[in-house]
Structure 1
Amino acid sequence: MQVRRSVALEYFGIVTMFVVSGHTTVKSFRKPLVGSRYAGAPLERRLWNKRKCARLWMQQTSSAGTAGTGTADASSTDSKPTAGVGTVAVFGASGRTGKQLLRQLCSQRACRQVRAIVRDASRLRNELASWKQDPSLNGVHVDVRAVGDLTRLDSNALSELVRGVDAIIWSAGASGGRDGFQTSPAALDEATLQRLCSVLATESTANGVTFRSPDEMVRVLDFGRGPLVPAAFTAVDDVIMGGQSKSSFHFDSNDSVGLFTGLVTTDGGGGFCHVRCDASAVMPAERFGDAPLVNVDENGRSVPHWDLAAYDGIALVVRGDGRRYKVNLKTSSEPELVFQQEFVTSDDLPPGTFETHFLPFADFVPVRRGEPVYSTGSAQLYAMKLDPNRIRSVGLVYSKVAIGGGPAIDFRPGRFHLACRRICAYRQVPPRFLALSSAAVTRPYWPPLKRQAYPELAQVPIVKLNPAGVLGHKLAGEDAVRTLVSHRSSLGAPYAIVRAVGLNDGDDPDFPGAAQGELRFGQGDLMVGKISRTVLAELLVNLLNEPEGFCKTFEVKQEPKTMSRNGTGASAATLSLAEKLRQLRTDVARALKPWNPPPSLS
């Protein structure tokens, strides 16, 4: 099978750089500077909602865990944990990183119980016995589940292992030495992780996994409720300015979706198609979605709005044609002022599947006549921020104009189609499935152009050797995790995928270590370096209570503290974990497609 390739367009201001990316089931792209999280501070309401959501999680999670055979109890007191996660299942808990995870979970009292899933309980027995002498480690119950070879467990056995848990950390991985792998990467890193994700993605609640509560997502417009929903949209094409483009929004009864279709042309000076749904057109609201409408008085007239202040962004469940579309949110009566953000659809989804795009409210840009509305005489970049409690219309746009006001460099005139299953408002919540992966998972399959651009990254030993295709199997496992938010109607299980660079056990004298090093995050699989296992474990545990890690894939490394460019002494270390994660883009959730990693490209 040929390697699937996509072209990601990365641009900052007026500088444009083309990067050809390797295989991934997440078609992600870096947004232009004007639409990024760097553009300004997030809404105070948004941050407040995240803290509130975290508190709700603490109140809702259960402290009850399922007792099992081979239990080793590291607790000798009834002291309460400081966090609200009930039971955390750790796969690969007896490995070098797994042991550090157990230690961090216990020392931070990040949960009430740890379900340590291991091949052989004897590998942890001495470790847990020593913890009883350390008061800082004896506040959490550790339930050891010895399961033998993970790769031999079927879906029912995996379902039983995660029954009743509130979070999962996957730190298992194929192990081996110079003589080869003791466990097949294809069987563990790919197939077993895929089976586990299939268990979590099932619509049935029989597995008892309670990752999400119903109030974390609300359907604003649910096109599955019939032709009434797309009929509420009105076409506002470029004919209003002399153009000749034409679009429509209609109901497809075969797939129960709304179809935004049309022909866009630049003839006559035009170049955009736009459909819009006003809140006033969705009465009664319960026939169109679950989001309630509120009436706001404007100049003595009652105007209906969607109040989405309790949420963090818009999630679109769509199936597209590889084009870049924009979402318009209107909050005022000013005719030409909207808030915009964009998303790029995939053109190679399996039949009948959809992808989910997450667009945070904080990333929406105020736009008037296609141009961003910048502030004057203020430290803020934009003149205004989106107020999510006063959304009076939702629109979809295909246009020759980019978010920043310049030409959309990937615009293609002609016919287009975008199938919409639903438009939702979502809350960012802390990840409940943490998958530990590896940096360099995409590099053996980079196309020649990217290998030429980053020769030093493509020539590291693990990439050149790629023993047993381990990097490709880890990538396929990642893909399975990324489907967790696309299978279930409630957006499924929130996750984070952490691609660690070289792991250090503290025996490298040149490595800065936990005391001196600071964390650096990146995306695009371009990171090299080292990280302490202790620091990595601490990061994974902290992510359990960090909403900014919601549905993101990223690399992480440790490096010495450095001076900032302005010489003030401020560095990335002055940023909190939330602030660092906020600068990373959210994944696009896609349905899993079969993929056999090809031989490494040399």
Structure 2
Amino acid sequence: MIVKPCIAVSAAVGLTSSALVGALHASGPGGLPRGARGTATRGGQGMEATGSGFDLGDWFKQAFTPQTAAAVKKKAGTSTAKKAKAPSGRGCTDAVLVLGGTGKTGQKVVEALLKQKRDVVVASRSKESAAELYDASTPGLFVQSGVDVRDEATLKNKALFDGVTQVVSALGPRFGEEGSSSEAVDFQGVQSAIEAAEAFLEQGDGSSAAPGDQERVLVAPGDSGSDERGPGGAWQPLDDVIMGGRSSSAWQKGVGGGVLERQSGKTFGRWAGTLVTEGGGFCGTVIKDMPFDATGYDGIRIRVRGDGSRYKFRLKPDTKLDNTAERQYQAPFDTVKGEWIEVDLPFESFVAVKRNYVDFNAPRVNEGPAGGKMLSLGLVLSRFGFNEYPNPKYTAGAFQLDLMEISLYKKPRPNFVLVSSASAERYHRLTEEERKNDIPIVALNPGGILNWKYKAETSLRKSSLRHCVVRATGLIAEGKEGDESVRLQMGQGDTLSGRVSREEVGSTVAAALSSSYSAGKTFELRRDEAEDATGKTPDFTSLFRGLVLDEDRSLASAGGASLPLPPFAIVQDPPPPVTEERKQEILNDPRVKARTAASKKPE
């Protein structure tokens, strides 16, 4: 059963500091991105980001002055949102709890999730603050008040996690607001959220973040408990005789009318035959009419015992929906002679084939007009790979492949996604002198923000949760993102600098929540600055899949990299408060001055 998910969003503390962090992620003098401004407004018990009018120079003066006054007042008439009403009950399952949902980046996370048709519950310190930002008439959007990450009692509340299976933290401090330091929010707030998630997060089977693999059996010869398609029954031959060849194959009959023997308590069937290379040079077997829905799953899992040859698994989407009767999809897999193996075939590994040639313009097998709705499946042994290239692992003559089971599988997703900052790790690897000559965010590290963010990352990685850490590079100011999508880049080891928009961070987080390839990984995110990058939709599956698991960073073979990534650095305490002399040095830094001047230019 596929359950419609919903999201719970906390407006406990917003990201008014993100404008500064974005501004300081520059590659060198004059390289600070323009337009990193934001206006803070008060609503209820705390300020909420509205996205305009932030002065970098004023921010520095406030950030480095203890107990400063809180923020600039909101411009009149900028909010048109209707007043939201708190629901009498949540009533959702497989939910995502987003902390920081009224911050600028948090709002983009919510928007991205709403585009995925997911329900949203906004948990705010007050109903009024959330009503400033969200329209109560938005389908699936609800508001729940009384959550403040600085008060761990409001987080360590089982009722808050009712129906919740995943958490997103898009938290950030509001410098200048008493009690909203980077330590209080970036570290202690996130730490409290991690501990609460460990205690109360639901992880039952069927959820987006179930602890283990989920399977749905499609074919299990002789097992009456599955959607059975026994050998010699629904299976039909599809050998090269259809084009004048002489190969032949069939399901061998044995015990139980097509079932051979029991292995580990299960029965299996045997597909066998003779491959003749003169002529077509292929054998196939297919279940032509077997509609099934693969939506929400990651791929096909088969349990087979082969002869050492390379076979292909065949899928065909529902042609009534996508009108591509000539197109099928194939994924190669290797066998080990005489040994039972389990093979996972991710949907992205299936290659579109049309009239025996690869169709490079076809969508992925589960992303076409039919979506995840499939019509048929099958097996192929051929002397060819793709586009007339030879199959490197086949032997002409007799062959056999034992099949125990064909299933759909779904691997666990991350159950806690943390939005952090690029340079948080790099700062901890550099000497004091190296930091002074690095990009501004590393050189200045206002309020020890990189230390506190890295501490939070480390706590999450060491927790029992399945984590994903998204490190944003310099955040592009609102209104400066451009109208076209841009190809994204992900890196690891914290060596990247660059720019990225809040929308791109939000879409990345939403994609990470639904991808098994993002679980257990920490990465930096930036825009691709190449000339041909504009107008390109990010391929998140490929991006996530190319990353190395955090636990494997030091392995030379991890991800196929020629060199291993460095181990994570030891967490360090933040530097002591800056002196008046250092404060003036920071404010007089040419890069900061240039950025402040640019922010004051009329649009």
TM-score (norm. length: structure 2): 0.45
